Structures are given as C-alpha cells and as structure tokens.
Structure 1
C-alpha cells in the first residue's frame, strides 16, 4: 500500500492527506455534483514542485489529476484515489506594459486578472464569470463578452510554461515546441500541467451597456425569429443573448400574471459610448411588448463579476453544448418545446433579474471576430459556426438529478439533427475517442500525434476527451 505521506520528502509543496485540515475544502470543485476523494492533494507553488510530485507518481504508476480553477463541469480536476496536483497557489499576475503582455499563474481565476488589468485600462478577452479558472477556460479555447470584438482567449495566448509527463519543464510558444503550443490552445487539458500563461491584452473597449427584456410565452417565437436574422449582423461591439426559462415566482418586478410562466430573456451587451447604444440595439427590442425591461451601464470589470452569484458554488450541473448549423424555425420550436418541459426549479440567486441566468436553454448571437478567426492557428473546436447553444440542467439536491439529466440528454438528442459540433469546455462527462473526433474534426489526428510525442504513456488521461489514439491505459 502506497504511503502518500512520502510526497513530503520529494517536494516542498504542501501535501494534504485525507482527514487532514483543508482536505475537504481543496478537493471540492465548482460543480457540486462532483464528490470525489483523492489519495493526496499537492498544493504546488511553482513548476519545480509540480515536476517533483508528478515524477514520484509516474514512477509508482499512480494516477494524477490537475486542478487550476476547478470550474470544469465534468470535475476532471479530482478523481478517487488519485493524486491531485493543485496549482491554486500559483496566482501571480505580472504585467509587462512595454511588451503589451500579462503573465498569469496557472491557479488564477479570471477575476484575479480582470481587476488589475482594469487598473491599467486593458483586458484579456475571456469568460463571463470571474471565478472561472484561467487554465481550464484557456486550454479549451475560451469565449466571453469580448469575443465578438476580438475573438477567442486562445487567440491572445503567446506563451506558456508546462510540465510534461516526463517531468520536464518546457517554455512553449510559436517558436518553442510549436506543435505542443498549438495543441494547448483548444485541446490543452490532455498534455501536462500548465503552470503559467502569457497573454496579449487589448485596450478596454469603453463602458458596457446591458439592455434586457423579458417577453411573454406567446411572443417567444416571433422574437426569436427576429433574433436569428438580426443578431449575427449586429455590429461587433454588440453581443445578443437569448434565454428560455420559467420566470421565478419571486421576480416581483415582473407583472404577476407572468410569474411562474415561461418567458424569453433577450439581453444585449454593447461596448463603447452609451449614447450610441439605443440606436444600435433598438430593432432587437421592438418586436413585442416586454413584460420587464432593464438598462444599466457599467465598467467591463464590473460586468465580469455581475453574474457570479447566479453561477455560484454549491449547485449541481449537467450541461450540453451545441454548435448549430442553423437557427431555423424547426430549431426554435424544438428549443421552446423542450425548455417548457424542464423539470427543475428556478435557482436564480436572488430577486434581482440578472442578464445572464441559469436556464434550460441559451443561444448566443454569432458573427463578429469569432467567425472571422483563423481556425487553423489553434486547436479550438469552434467549427466555424455562428450559433452556440447551451442546454442546462441545474439542481440543489441529489434527488432532483436523475430526472434533470434525463431531460438534458433527451433535449440534446432532439437537437441532434441540427448540431454541427460542441464546445469542449461545456462537457459534463469525459468523452471517448469518438467524441474527440467529433469535437476536433480534422485536427484530431494532429492532436493525437502531439499527444504521443509528449505523453506516450497517456499519463494525463483525465482530459475531457481521449486523444491517446488508442494508447489509453
């Protein structure tokens, strides 16, 4: 039987064993459905500590997992009986204003980056929730509020430090280990422990103006048809979100007759001069009479934190993501019909009506820089499609889970004929080789070749899909 306390003799990192102070806290991840017990947790402060612990495990054929922000839906950061390599202590954020870059520790969350970046008047395009991990989001591609303006997070990654399976600490970029650097940008959960990321940043694009309206059930189809035609053609500084949900009974700002009933939420996020926003977004909100409206203008960094409570810790999740080939009437009808069958309860954090909410179905207006990006430059599985949709099942109590998961799977099956791929960061379960081929398409064989070069024994087999090419343990 392995004595995991021996890890303390090979690494200067803090090692936490079951029953010790901090064990339960550090094994927990964002998705409350994940409840796994690692054999040891190694809280690493730098790449050398990672390398030492990893080498010890590999020599003894002990499974390892890697935790950055711990925000992954599938909970791949933690496994029963494995050694969890926790990079959370690596949380430095260092700006090089002359070079126009920021270097971020592998354990950072996006709020750790957004706040100091705002003080410099800059931003890294990434995410919509501040407690999302930098590592997980980046390694899967990354998209957020600034995506229509600037593209994916991986488009701004210029270098990384990674500990690979044989314990080497590598600096990777377009000029060093370029094959591995390409793979990390979109399929990076499979190749090692990334201990730091260096990003280019962009100037802050001005204030964010968020306009939201809720529409009654009878108006949903008409509004969604207009959304389909209008959202992809909106200016790059306007992103549009459509969400189908049941209006919580405690949303007292909504007329009483619509509480507890199906509604459609439309929200636009506009960057730039607030005075220019009304003319740009007015057409989207002129299709029916809203049952609720809101408008606010806030700094980008405030927007990045504004729905943290909606997506709070302590809730179980099972999600499906779909890139849609089109958003035709048949897709709209299917989405409405299945959203109305949602067996869960409203889990909004409070009575305030956030522009982004936990909901059965969300679709994000496409277009902008995300559809113009060079899809060969990185491994990100964008599939070049304009429409990205999320099916979301969320619960507080385990007894609610089976019915909700069954609903989500059936909803996804019904949307299958319209699907053109998926976004790997929204996978709720680990996928096999077939899933990997579906996600990465033409990039699959190249990714497998990189995997075999840097991790031939498939040490990092806890990625979201199997890229071992048949060599998985």
Structure 2
C-alpha cells in the first residue's frame, strides 16, 4: 500500500483533520514560533481527544513513521516539527475545567499559557507558570516552568497533580504520585521524551495576584556596578515575594522614551516584580535601584493576568532565534567582565517591540535568580536538573530577520556560551536551541539521568518520542538493552 493510501486510511480511522503538504492549512500548522525552523512533516494530525491521539500514535508505530508533538510550538530547537515525520498538533485540546472541591484545574495539552491564565483569572485562582502568553502549557510544564511567581510559590511542576499521557504503544495512562509515580517524576522536568501529554491537572492557588513592578535602565558605565549588586542581592538578599531580572541590551533607535544620547548605546535593564502590599514595595526592592542614577524608570501596579501578557510583543511571532542557557552556580567579577565584553560585541540588531518597554524582552544576555520557594523543594522530588545547586538562570543569544544575520549571531552565541562554561552546572532545558548530544543529558540532569533512562526504557523502549532536546536513548534498540 502506498503512503498516500495509508494516510487516507489514517484520515478515515481518526475522524479529525489530517493535513498533507499542499493542502490548506499545512504551512500554517507547520510554522512555529522560531521561524528559523523550516521543516516539512509528512502529515499533520490535529486530534480533539486523547483517543484520537492514541490512534495516531498506533498508526505511526505500525507504519514506521517518526512522531513529533506540537503544543504551543515555542521550543527554540523546533522539536515539534521534523521533516518526513507525523506532527501531532494538540492545539484543539485546550479546554479548561475546574474541581473547586479538590482545588484543581485541568487543561488540555495544546493550550497556550494565556488560555490557562485567562481561565484562571475568571475563576479567581492562579497557577504559577511562565512569562509569555503564547508559550504552550505543555512544553513549559514538562521542562519545569519558571515564571514571575517562582520564588514565592515554586515552579509550575511543583503544582502539578497529574498528567494524562498517551504512551508509545498507544495506551492512555494517568501519571500522578499514586498512579505510575516513576513516570510522573520523569515528566516533571524531563517530560518531553515519554509520550504525548493530552492534559494537565494543577493544584491552583485560591486567589489572584497583583504585582508591583519597578523597572529601570542604567547607562553603560553603570553596568558592572549594577550587575555586581544584582549578583549579591537577588538570590540571597531579596525576599521571596520579589523576583528580579537583569538584562543587557542596546537601546533601539525608535525608543523615543529615552534621551537621544542613549539611543543606540548598550545599557542594563533591571526589573523587580513584588507581590506584597504596595506600601511594602519600596523597602523590599529599593536597594536594587540605589546603585546608580537611572536613565529611564517606571513604577506601576498591574494584575497578574496583565503582567503575563507584558512581553508578548517582544517575543512576537515571526523572528528567528538562537539561544544558549546555563544554571549559574557562581558569578564572580571575571564572569561579569566576560558578560560585558561579549554584550558589547553582539553582532545583531535590537528588535524589541516599539510599542512597550516590558520587564521581559529579548536581548544578548538575561539573568534571573532562583532561590526562594524554588530552592526549597527536595532535589529528588522532580526531574528538573540542578534546581537547588544553581543560583541563577542565564540565557544568551539573539534574534534576527534576514539570512545574512544568522551565522554571525549563532557564532557569537556559541563563543559566549563557551566563555561562560566555568560558571555553569547544567541548564534550564526550555531555554536551549540545540538538540543535545547524548552526553548533554547527563550534564542537564546530573545524577537523575540514569533513572530517567530506566523509565524511558520502561515506557518507550523503541524510542518513538526522540525529538525532545535530549534524546534519552540515542541509537538504542531493544536487542541492545535486552
């Protein structure tokens, strides 16, 4: 039977959209957030139920077709789309439902973060999650989930109660502390390798939040002093109800809020998100802003829901991205010198949106602390790599629009990342552009790696789900591990 005939049989069996190249909707469905990724799947399946997902997985196994899974499509490395594979596009699975007696919300595996946030706000509840509303709930959660509320209430996986998962053999299983607990542990931080997550159930916080935001920029000659204080204060000195972000950027020429002499110059941005009472904000965060005279500053109060959308324009669709990430265990003065030197050499253009100057935006280097509630979870409780030993999460990289900009930015990013390697221990998996080599798994997950591999062999011995950033069973066959 030809592949076209087999795809026709798939379409009949599933009773959901099954799209091939040349058909309406194909290019739109295969296009993801990082448009540097341009791949053409064999077929795109758009299921509306876990049963349809299971049918698609069984068809792929029977026909020797690789599988990728699209939720929000935000993965930097483009793991949700592969040439010649089946893409399972989960975006029709996005509904939220509530069990207020249990204090939980269940949401489909294809939902975007903004859909969860808006549904929660309507119910007067909150789930700590990421910071860009068009990020997928699935990818964010399966990698751990950092956000504005992490220091106060922990990572997204710390609020996860259960996951409905379609396994490589087409079964629909529940993973929780009570049911398939080893699988549940693996999914909470290294979860992109084990199946198709069709829904997530979270224990919500029974209230909404309002943030006190303070944001300031400082001139080039203040950057070292500001970064040194940020290092010394953000992790150990700031209270749990404060999250802080430092970023090195070039002021775009179209940011007319800045005096002309600062446009086109390299500056440092510092933003604090304070979740306490407004009259407590000044004493909580003012030390961070006392290191130099700002060239631009703003203070405002905003609901959690609005803050969750604050960076959407800066992380807009249509740009091309390349990032490297690191969990920093130390950040000495020589590392600060390295950061400043490389930031000044950045070969790209500033592409931040002109409509707003948000607390969170693309840049050559960004830096935020862990600690607080994030660091008080037992290291072995989740599969998130090195969440307790690292003090800060850093990302570096760039964005571009035109083909001739690509290679200089990628080459610069790799050199910068190599120069920062002495200060890192692993990385946050959701912030990396490169699909890792086999040895990268142990670097990311440390002494958890062997347990992750053992669980992978139990649920996916033939390595159907191998498009995550880290392939836990590279080139491994059933015979080799029998």
The TM-score bracket by the shorter chain reads over 0.9
Distance 2:268 2:477 in 1: 44
Distance 2:460 2:441 in 1: 17
Aligned pair 1:290/2:294, yes or no?
Answer: yes
- Which residue in 1 is equivalent to 2:282? 278
Runs of 4+ off more than 4 Å: none
Q: Is the 8 A contact 1:117 1:123 kept in 2?
A: yes
Offset, 1:152: 0.9
Alignment of 1:328-347 (within 5 A): 328-347=332-351
- Which residue in 1 is equivalent to 2:3? 2
Distance 1:235 1:44 in 2: 44
Distance 1:13 1:453 in 2: 30
Aligned pair 1:396/2:401, yes or no?
Answer: yes
- Which residue in 2 is equivalent to 1:179? 182
- Which residue in 2 is equivalent to 1:34? 37
Alignment of 1:10-29 (within 5 A): 10-29=13-32
Distance 1:457 1:139 in 2: 21
Offset, 1:193: 0.4
Offset, 1:244: 0.4
Alignment of 1:113-132 (within 5 A): 113-132=116-135
Structure 2 unaligned residues grouped into runs of 5+:
none
Distance 2:55 2:203 in 1: 30
Aligned pair 1:370/2:371, yes or no?
Answer: no
3-state SS in 2 of match to 1:382: coil
Offset, 1:120: 2.1
- Which residue in 2 is equivalent to 1:467? 472
Offset, 1:178: 0.8
Distance 2:366 2:283 in 1: 25
Aligned pair 1:431/2:432, yes or no?
Answer: no
Alignment of 1:412-423 (within 5 A): 412-423=417-428
Deviations 1:2-60 (Å, cap 9, x if unpaired)?
Answer: 12232112212211111111111111111111111111110011111011111111011
Give 1:266's match in structure 2, choosing from 267, 270, 275: 270
Give 2:92's match in structure 1, choosing from 89, 94, 112: 89
Distance 1:437 1:123 in 2: 34
Deviations 1:154-183 (Å, cap 9, x if unpaired)?
Answer: 111111111101111101111111111111
Offset, 1:351: 4.6
Distance 2:414 2:329 in 1: 19
Aligned pair 1:148/2:151, yes or no?
Answer: yes
Q: Is the 8 A contact 2:16 2:45 kept in 1?
A: yes
Q: Is the 8 A contact 1:213 1:293 kept in 2?
A: yes
Aligned pair 1:448/2:463, yes or no?
Answer: no
Give 1:169's match in structure 2, choosing from 169, 172, 186: 172
Deviations 1:226-265 (Å, cap 9, x if unpaired)?
Answer: 1111111211111111100111111111121111011000
3-state SS in 1 of match to 2:24: coil
- Which residue in 2 is equivalent to 1:240? 244
Give 2:103's match in structure 1, choosing from 97, 100, 103: 100
Distance 1:425 1:366 in 2: 15
Q: Tell me the TM-score normalized by structure 2.
A: 0.96
Structure-2 change in CA distance of 1:47 and 1:351 (3 Å):
closer
- Which residue in 2 is equivalent to 1:50? 53
Offset, 1:205: 5.7
Q: Is the 8 A contact 1:250 1:351 kept in 2?
A: no
Distance 2:356 2:92 in 1: 34
Deviations 1:98-144 (Å, cap 9, x if unpaired)?
Answer: 11000010100111110121122211110000100000000111110
Offset, 1:470: 5.2
Q: Is the 8 A contact 1:227 1:284 kept in 2?
A: yes
Q: Is the 8 A contact 2:103 2:206 kept in 1?
A: no
Distance 1:162 1:140 in 2: 15
3-state SS in 2 of match to 1:414: helix
Distance 1:21 1:244 in 2: 42
Q: Is the 8 A contact 2:374 2:387 kept in 1?
A: no
Aligned length: 473
Q: Is the 8 A contact 1:5 1:17 kept in 2?
A: no
Distance 2:477 2:158 in 1: 30
Distance 2:289 2:234 in 1: 12
When the two chains are superposed, the root-mean-square deviation of aligned CA atoms in Å is 1.2
3-state SS in 1 of match to 2:379: coil
Q: Is the 8 A contact 2:71 2:90 kept in 1?
A: yes
Structure 1 unaligned residues grouped into runs of 5+:
none
Q: Tell me the TM-score normalized by structure 1.
A: 0.98
- Which residue in 2 is equivalent to 1:407? 412
Distance 2:297 2:162 in 1: 43
- Which residue in 2 is equivalent to 1:196? 199
